[in-house]
Amino acid sequence: MERLQKVMAEAGVASRRASEKLITAGRVTVNGETVKKLGTKVAAKDKIEVDGVPIHQEKHVYYLLNKPREVISSAHDEKGRRTVVDILKDDEIEERVYPVGRLDYDTTGILLLTNDGDLANKLMHPKFEVNKTYVAKVKGLITNDALKQLRLGVKVDGHRTKPAKTRLKETDRAKRISIVQITIHEGHYHQVKRMFEAVGYPVMKLHRESYGFLNLQGVQPGDYRELRPEEVKKLKGM
């Protein structure tokens, strides 16, 4: 017997957390009965449906996407906006994948998609401290003191962010903008943007260029590739 949300995640329906929301919303049935209680356990012989569609175990797949601007990091969007999953569906990929974490609507860069719920949960858990490197275009000529504050941690919503790595890549004195590379391993809502706001340099553009050991080499915006077996193995061993 396994918890219902775990079975759903492993079947590629959604992440475990998103599966819990589907359950409490009354969108899941087990053997024809609506189940809203979290922690419900199911057996292999049980018939599980989400919105009337039976789930089944799929082979695990893993993709690396270079997310373009104005695309939602979600499997569904109530406003009908294009999602990262739509990009894969355009090529008729049948597995029900979902993104590992998220990038903002206007943020570009590397994003992983999978139907392996266990790996997704592991990578998103704070204790594993997966490094994520961003390049931010910010308003103003950023000072060494501001970069130091980011490295030490700044207050965001009452909590201090973990130490970050920063590097000033370039400045444009005429336009009064700076290009800064920053590496963090947390993943709070709008974190990078809010960190720069906290030191007085609003973000104009944001791009995530690497996730752990993975980067976007050879992958153009809006394109993706399947992870190689050795990359999947390395992710699982992180």
Active site members: 104
Residues in the chain: 238
Can you read off the two tokens belonging to residue 75? 């499997």
CA dist., res. 161 & res. 159, Å (int): 6
CA dist., res. 155 & res. 202, Å (int): 15
Residue 216: other Cβ atoms inside 10 A:
22
CA dist., res. 125 & res. 186, Å (int): 9
**41 phi/psi in degrees, rounded to 5:** -105, 145
Residue 41 is inside which H or E element, if any?
strand 41-42
CA dist., res. 6 & res. 45, Å (int): 15
Short-list 153, 146, 142, CA closest to 179: 142
CB-based contact 57:103 (threshold 8 Å): no
- Tokens 């049980």 belong to 46
